[in-house]
Structure 1
Amino acid sequence: MEWMGAVIILTVTTLGGFEIASRFKKRPGHIRQWKNALQLIEAEMVYGQSSLWEVCDTLSRHLPMPVAGFFEQLQKEQDGCREFAVLWESMMKKHWPWNAMGKTELEILLQFGRTLGQHDLEQQQKQIQLTIHHLDRVLQEALEVGEQYQKMARGMGVLSGLLVIILII
């Protein structure tokens, strides 16, 4: 019976380690999705002269999940919206658990949401480019440390399971 419990503990901690490693692996892809979203926002606003709500509709149809879900929900909540920046922040925090990104990326995107729709097109374009630049920097960091952290997370999952088993036995 002890061996059965040991196998279960080792399996659970190993799966936990692999789940954490999976988030490190997905992080660069999610950052790229947000960069793509910002480029589409720029194109729609500057060249297409679209409103914020039209941009949200376009993005919800053209981007992959989880970014598309964010813009879809943002558009659904537009009726009760008095201030876009407040809605952006609340939706960002609501949808953040489905992203594999960290606090740095959240702060970058929250800051962008505070400026979205507050300036003329030229200033808005500069804000978008600045946000893309910040995401580029974070993407480079994610690519550099991602593989290392993936291996560490998988190893820690297995080793923590072994430690618990040793302590119990």
Structure 2
Amino acid sequence: MIKTLGCLLILAASTFGGFAYAENFKKRVRQLNELERAVNQLQNEIEYTYTPLPEALRNVSQKCDAPMSLIFKKASEFLYNNEVESVYEAFKKCIDLCETNISKEDMNILMDLSKSLGESDVEGHKKMFSLAKNNLKKRISLAEEAVNKNVKMYRYLGFSLGAMIVIVLI
């Protein structure tokens, strides 16, 4: 009885672990899509309404979902309170503070964009936003491919690992 219960617990735990690990791939895609939406909103705030950057970042944070909203909100606060020297430094601090499922290469797109924010004219911003959006689209398509390829595998792998442990124990 206890042996059967232990085997079921091992199988359930390993299956849950596989499902949890596979969920990270899906979260990355959702967060990349949210980052793309945030960049589009920031572009609109800067190019069409000519909103000052700290206020534009705050407005974008109110329209985004977590954790992207936290990044833009903290960056806005750092700029409002003059705690940083540049927009790049504000985003660098925010990314270090906020935990996301997005890889470092994905965040480099936002970091590259932040280097030029507030330091060029509207035409320069248009070019940088266009470049950032193109790079984000590429990263999103790569992330979606990873989801299609890996989610099922890690789910089955979790179950298989648990079944293998149970077989060894029996």
TM-score (norm 2): 0.87
Cα deviations by residue, 1:68-99 (Å, 9 ceiling, x for unpaired) = 1221222233322222211201211322x3x3
Q: What residue number does 1:29 align with?
A: 30
User: For the Cα contact (< 8 Å) 1:22–1:150, is it kept in 2?
Assistant: yes
Q: Which moved more, 1:112-121 or 1:14-23?
A: 112-121
Q: 1:93 aligns with which of 90, 93, 96?
A: 96
Deviation at 1:167, TM superposition (A): 4.0
What letter matches 1:88 in structure 2? F
Residues 12, 76 of structure 1: alpha-carbon distance in 2 compared, 3 angstrom cutoff = farther
SS at match of 1:93: helix
Which amino acid counterpart does residue 75 of structure 1 have in structure 2?
A: S
Deviation at 1:148, TM superposition (A): 2.1
Sequence identity (%): 23
User: 5+ unaligned residues in a row in structure 1: which ranges?
Assistant: none
Mapped to 2, the partners of 1:168 and 1:74 lie a distance apart of 52
Q: SS where residue 110 of structure 2 aligns?
A: helix
Aligned partner of 2:54 in structure 1 is 53
Cα deviation per residue 1:32-63 (whole Å; 9 max; x = unaligned)?
21111111111111111111111111011112
Partner of 1:82: helix, strand, or coil?
coil
Q: 2:87 aligns with which of 81, 84, 87?
A: 84
Equivalent AA in structure 2 for residue 19 of structure 1:
A
| Alpha-carbon distance change, 2 to 33 in structure 1, aligned in 2, over 3 angstroms | same
Q: Which amino acid aligns with 1:116?
A: L
Q: How many residues align?
A: 167
Q: How many Å apart are 1:149 and its aligned residue? A: 0.9
Distance in 2 separating the partners of 1:84 and 1:102? 21
Query: Partner residue of 2:13?
Result: 12
Runs of 4+ in 1 over 6 A off after TM superposition: none
Comparing 53-62 with 139-148, which one deviates more in the overlay?
139-148
* 2:54/2:77 contact within 8 Å kept: no
2:156 is matched with 155
